[in-house]
């Protein structure tokens, strides 16, 4: 017990409080800014924090990390632009809710869900860090490939009922993901000799274009002077008792999905958000609402993407392997401070682990508070006349994207994807599968080929974990249509018994 | 977005709301998919093998995807031709809107050129003023104060705080 | 429109006044008199992301060089294209000493991998960090020495899988080099970054990993990996019990490194003052401590020697990377 007290006690220093406060403000700001990611903010801040002691330094960096994962939800909900990739799935329902005049509820529900997800992740870190991190070691290329295949089954879910168009969009995304140097042999593919493309299509630029810029361009194209601006009211702010009850299941589903995804190395909040959203959809009594402003949808997405935070910190601390890109940067700082992440950290400096958990805990509570207080001011932005809003979104997205790698090329990609997104939108093609393809394409091909290089096809066939996941993926594809047709047949011959009990039991 | 389907579209006659019958309109994405797929296929067949022979050629993944995309496009064309469905048609574009869109894209391109020659602070303020003007903003507040303030915010955040080379 | 134009022009004047406080423009600039160099801020281009090991080395060195030069050094991360984007950007800047850059080992590799990067386009200032390659196996591996590993590969060439941080990386090249020097063949398995490659070895998915010393030594310290050899000309303090490959009869010295360079054609005086500032910074206690703590090896190689080294590295990679088939 004493390391716990010691660890938390180390946070009583007023400097730490100051550092957490600074980190929270900075983190929310960069999170809310499309293009500026938590990774970038942490990397830049680590330049300054190296001169601090480890605990205050970690307080700044970890709080930025936590707070950015709250701030990024705001533009996702209000202007359909994910502040960071972790909030891609937030746009699915958040923006739809905002357009229905429920922005207030969307923002608070998102903040609560994000906070809950973060807390679950921290709890995992404190209770089960070592066993969980051992689980992560079992994820080699074969297992990762299986997991990605499971992710690809979500294509159907994010298609929003337009299956063929959704799949076309998904395959387009996978193809776009193949742009760049081949992961195994290093030969250039679809790069046209452009060095900027050799690491693939810049992902953040692409999602800002597909979601945010496409939305603005669409408004520019269709806006009528007489038309009402969609978001003029924010509706109620706090969830009612009934809303809370609706949110319970997605909170649970999201926590589970996010916890697992967070522990797997090199996967983060972007995948977890989409995965959590899709699993909650499968488990929901009203799956048809998902993507059209479902409170369940936004809750699941945000819970899941934030539950990865604890998992990432866990793999980072317990294995010395960065759980995501932010953690990769943070390991650099920790090593310079003389903290060597790895199993021995838990044996030698258990108090430090608790300090880290404590910092994240305080940061979560503080950020939730700021989120709830400050929202009313932020949403006022949307009262701006359209021409101001368009100009602000366009230019801020351009400058934010430029800052990713200080290269105009990324801005060009963002605008090009804005036009692609506009085309998709005009022809009713969902953009979600494109993004999913972009995220998963490289992982799918890379891990498949890696495992083939290691041991041929048998490398996959002999891994029980991989085969289990692959079986679940097949079931996830096959079972819902079968169940649907079974239900339809039963409805046709419906005579006596009502069917309600068996709707949500078949969640993989 | 999620308005109720228009009655009677099953027969391909949608008199209300001037929505295009879905048959022809749905051919556009199918054709686009075919074109992208074909282009990708041609390009992937030209990918060189690496120095080292691997179990799985660097061509196979993109080739497979290109074929899949073409197949799905044909499937989509076939399905939507056989069973035209009511479109969840997006809001209709306006002529003024199209002009505005082209003007805004031109302004952004112009900005790209201007930025190369003129300091970020000046070119961005000009761009803000231009975009606002195209969007319908008029008067000194919209075309003067607004660009100056937003540019100053951007410059402070990125140029001064984040030290981005603007 | 004309009224608007006037308004806009007026706005620009107002704007100029507002942002003048923000500092002077840091773009462009004609060549100043070399005699009073440096008379303004210097930009240091790092071709990789902020937060990585290269960025840390560059930033730490920059803050030390500021002391000697008396001007601020602004670190600019220009990423992409495996580092080629930043390196090309650097090569295209005026050779006035106000833009310098971090040159990684990739400077001599990329040219043979289809990128437009040529080490001859830079004036070299000095080398400050060295990251020798190491080969490590899981702790429960049957291979106890480098010799065991090589023997296993000889028995069945291509059966020993060795993970590395990516296709075309220095660690993949090191794997090929090891194979060639021992007359056998290893099966390289490129991952997406150094950490996943090391993880694959810890998890036992591959037989061995070749990675930089800063990535394997912590894993060896808490017993998750066994480092078999270090490919350097001398043993390292961070791996006290590990012999060099040469000590085990395999003559391979390879690894990553980082130095400072500038666009080719610097004026003599400018180059001299940069070299002087570099030597002081790379030798400073703060720099050596931070680099040592990060697990790499600080060095202080002067310009002439560095230039020779770069030349020999260029020859080496020309051979290694072009006859891989």
Q: Give per-residue pLDDT as tens, C158-170.
A: 899 999 999 999 9
Asked if B49 lies within 8 A of A171 by C-beta distance, the reply is: no
Asked whether residue A508 is assigned to any structural domain, the reply reads no
- Statement: residue B6 has pLDDT above 80: no
Asked whether residue A225 is assigned to any structural domain, the reply reads yes
Distance of alpha carbon B159 from alpha carbon B164, whole angstroms: 5
Least confident residue range of A319-333, B79-93, C45-59, C286-300: B79-93
Chains near A with 3+ CB pairs less than 8 A apart are B, C
Comparing C-alpha atoms, which of C83, C82, C66 is closest to residue C74? Answer: C66
> Taking the model in full, what pTM does it have?
0.85
Q: What is the pLDDT of residue A276?
A: 94
Cβ atoms of A401 and A414 within 8 Å: the answer is yes
Comparing C-alpha atoms, which of C127, C118, C129, C128 is closest to residue C264? Answer: C118
Asked whether residue A55 is assigned to any structural domain, the reply reads yes
Asked whether residue A50 is assigned to any structural domain, the reply reads yes
Number of domains in chain A: 1
Q: Which residues of C touch B119 (CB under 8 A)?
A: 25, 27
Asked whether residue A23 is assigned to any structural domain, the reply reads yes
Measure A283 CA to nearest chain C CA, in Å: 33
Retrieve residue C318's tokens.
């020309």
Q: Does residue A328 or residue A495 have the better pLDDT?
A: A328
Q: What is the pLDDT of residue B86?
A: 63
Q: Which domains does chain C have, with CATH numbers?
A: 39-130+256-322 (3.40.190.150), 132-255 (3.40.190.10)
- Statement: residue A343 has pLDDT above 80: no
CA dihedral A284, A286, A288, A293 (to 10 degrees): -90
Q: Which domain holds residue A250?
A: 2-488
Retrieve residue B79's tokens.
């399905």
**Average pLDDT of A462-471?**
93
3-state SS string for C209-228: EEEEHHHHHHHHHCCCEEEE
Tell me which residue in A42, A332, A442 faces C53 most closely, judged by beta carbons. A332
Distance of alpha carbon A484 from alpha carbon A492, whole angstroms: 12
Distance of alpha carbon B86 from alpha carbon B9, whole angstroms: 6
- Cα distance between the two ends of chain A: 38
Asked whether residue A496 is assigned to any structural domain, the reply reads no
Q: Does residue A341 or residue B59 have the better pLDDT?
A: B59
Asked whether residue A256 is assigned to any structural domain, the reply reads yes
Asked whether residue A136 is assigned to any structural domain, the reply reads yes
Distance of alpha carbon A340 from alpha carbon A338, whole angstroms: 6
Tell me which residue in C76, C116, C206 faces A406 most closely, judged by beta carbons. C76
CA dihedral B112, B115, B121, B123 (to 10 degrees): -70
The interface residues of chain C toward chain A in range 126-165, judged by CB-CB distance below 8 A, are 161
Q: Is the ipTM of this complex over 0.90?
A: no
Asked if B144 lies within 8 A of C23 by C-beta distance, the reply is: no
Q: What is the pLDDT of residue C19?
A: 39
Q: What rounded mean pLDDT belongs to chain A?
A: 87
Asked if C10 lies within 8 A of B159 by C-beta distance, the reply is: no
Q: What is the pLDDT of residues A411-450, one digit of tens each?
A: 999 999 999 999 998 998 999 899 999 989 988 999 999 9
Residue of B nearest to C167 (CA): B50
Q: Which of A29, A40, A167, A171 to mutate to test the interface with B (most CBs of B within 10 A)?
A: A171
Asked if C193 lies within 8 A of A320 by C-beta distance, the reply is: no
Least confident residue range of A169-173, A225-229, B71-75, C135-139: A225-229
């Amino acid at each position: 017990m004493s390391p716990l007290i010691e660890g938390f006690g180390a946070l009583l220093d007023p400097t730490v409080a100051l550092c957490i406060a600074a980190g929270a403000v900075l983190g929310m700001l960069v999170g809310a800014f499309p293009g500026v990611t938590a990774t970038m903010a942490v990397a830049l801040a680590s330049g300054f924090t190296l001169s601090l002691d480890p605990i205050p330094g970690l307080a700044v960096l970890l709080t930025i990390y936590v707070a950015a994962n709250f701030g990024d939800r705001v533009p996702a909900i209000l202007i359909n632009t994910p502040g960071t990739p972790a909030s891609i799935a937030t746009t699915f329902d958040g923006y739809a809710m905002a357009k229905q005049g429920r922005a207030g509820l969307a923002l608070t529900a998102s903040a609560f869900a994000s906070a809950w997800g973060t807390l679950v992740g921290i709890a995992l870190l404190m209770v089960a860090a070592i066993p969980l991190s051992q689980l992560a070691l079992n994820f080699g290329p074969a297992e990762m490939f299986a997991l990605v295949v499971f992710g690809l089954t979500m294509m159907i879910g994010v298609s929003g009922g337009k299956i063929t168009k959704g799949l076309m969009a998904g395959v387009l995304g996978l193809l776009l993901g193949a742009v760049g140097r081949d992961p195994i042999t290093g030969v250039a593919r679809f790069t046209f000799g452009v060095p900027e493309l050799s690491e693939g299509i810049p992902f953040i630029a692409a999602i800002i274009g597909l979601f945010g810029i496409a939305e603005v361009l669409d408004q520019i194209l269709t806006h009528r002077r007489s038309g009402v601006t969609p978001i003029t009211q924010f509706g109620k702010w706090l969830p009612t008792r009934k809303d809370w009850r609706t949110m319970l299941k997605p909170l649970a589903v999201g926590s589970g999905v996010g916890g697992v995804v967070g522990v797997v190395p090199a996967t983060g909040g972007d995948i977890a958000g989409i995965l959590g959203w899709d699993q909650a959809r499968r488990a929901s009594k009203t799956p048809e609402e998902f993507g059209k402003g479902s409170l369940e949808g936004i809750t699941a997405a945000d819970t899941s993407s934030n539950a990865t935070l604890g998992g990432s910190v866990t793999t980072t601390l317990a294995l010395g392997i960065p759980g995501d890109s932010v953690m990769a940067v943070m390991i650099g700082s920790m090593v310079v401070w003389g903290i060597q992440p790895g199993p021995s950290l838990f044996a030698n400096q258990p108090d430090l682990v608790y300090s880290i958990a404590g910092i994240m805990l305080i940061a979560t509570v503080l950020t939730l508070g700021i989120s709830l207080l400050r929202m009313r001011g932020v949403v006022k932005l949307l009262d701006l006349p359209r021409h101001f809003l368009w100009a602000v979104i366009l230019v801020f997205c351009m400058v934010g994207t430029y800052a990713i790698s200080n290269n105009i090329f990324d801005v060009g990609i963002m605008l090009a994807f804005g036009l692609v997104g506009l085309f998709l939108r005009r022809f009713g093609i969902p953009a979600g599968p494109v993004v999913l393809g972009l995220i998963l394409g490289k992982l799918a091909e890379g891990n498949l080929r890696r495992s083939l290089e290691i041991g041929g096809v048998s490398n996959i066939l002999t891994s029980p974990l991989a085969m289990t996941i692959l079986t679940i993926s097949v079931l996830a594809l096959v079972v819902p249509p079968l169940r649907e047709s079974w239900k339809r047949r039963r409805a046709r011959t419906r005579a006596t018994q009502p069917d309600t009990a068996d709707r949500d039991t078949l969640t993989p | 977005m999620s308005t109720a389907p228009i009655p009677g579209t099953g027969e391909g006659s949608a008199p209300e709301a001037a929505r295009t019958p879905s048959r022809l309109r749905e051919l556009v994405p199918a054709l686009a998919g075919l074109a992208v797929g074909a282009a990708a296929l041609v390009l992937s067949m030209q990918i060189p093998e690496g120095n080292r022979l691997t179990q799985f050629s660097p061509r196979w993944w993109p080739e497979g995807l290109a074929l899949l995309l073409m197949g799905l496009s044909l499937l989509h064309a076939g399905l939507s031709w056989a069973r035209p469905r009511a479109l969840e048609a997006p809001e209709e574009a306006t002529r003024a809107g199209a002009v505005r869109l082209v003007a805004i894209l031109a302004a952004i391109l112009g900005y790209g050129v201007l930025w190369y020659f003129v300091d970020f602070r000046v070119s961005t303020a000009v761009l803000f003023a231009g975009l606002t003007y195209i969007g319908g903003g008029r008067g000194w507040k919209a075309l003067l104060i607004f660009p100056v303030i937003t540019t100053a915010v951007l410059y402070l955040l990125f140029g001064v705080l984040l030290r981005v080379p603007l | 429109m004309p009224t608007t134009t006037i308004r806009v022009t007026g706005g620009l004047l107002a704007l100029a006044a507002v942002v003048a406080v923000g500092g002077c423009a840091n773009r462009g600039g004609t060549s100043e008199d070399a005699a009073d160099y440096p008379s303004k801020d210097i930009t240091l281009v790092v071709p990789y992301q902020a937060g990585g090991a290269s960025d840390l080395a560059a930033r730490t060195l920059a803050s030390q060089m500021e002391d000697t030069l008396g001007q601020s050094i602004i670190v600019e991360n220009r990423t992409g294209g495996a580092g080629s984007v930043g390196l090309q950007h650097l090569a295209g800047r005026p050779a006035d000493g106000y833009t310098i850059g971090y040159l990684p080992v990739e400077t001599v590799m990329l040219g043979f991998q289809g990128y437009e990067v040529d080490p001859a386009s830079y004036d070299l200032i000095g080398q400050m960090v060295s990251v020798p390659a190491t080969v490590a196996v899981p702790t429960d591996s049957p291979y106890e020495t480098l010799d065991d590993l090589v023997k296993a590969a000889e028995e069945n060439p291509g059966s020993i899988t060795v993970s590395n941080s990516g296709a075309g990386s220095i660690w993949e090249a090191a794997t090929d080099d090891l194979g060639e020097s021992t007359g056998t063949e290893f099966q390289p398995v490129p991952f997406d970054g150094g950490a996943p490659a090391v993880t694959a070895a810890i998890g036992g998915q591959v037989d061995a990993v070749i990675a930089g010393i800063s990535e394997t030594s912590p894993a060896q310290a808490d017993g998750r990996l066994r480092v078999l050899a270090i490919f350097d000309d001398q043993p390292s303090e961070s791996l006290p019990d590990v012999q060099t490959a040469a000590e085990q009869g395999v003559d391979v010295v390879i690894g990553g490194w980082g130095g400072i360079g500038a666009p080719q054609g610097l004026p003599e005086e400018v180059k001299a003052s940069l070299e002087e500032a570099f030597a002081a910074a790379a030798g400073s206690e703060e720099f050596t401590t931070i680099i040592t703590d990060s697990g790499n090896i600080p060095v202080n190689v002067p310009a002439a020697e560095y230039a020779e080294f770069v030349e020999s590295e260029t020859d080496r990679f020309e051979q290694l990377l072009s006859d891989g088939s």
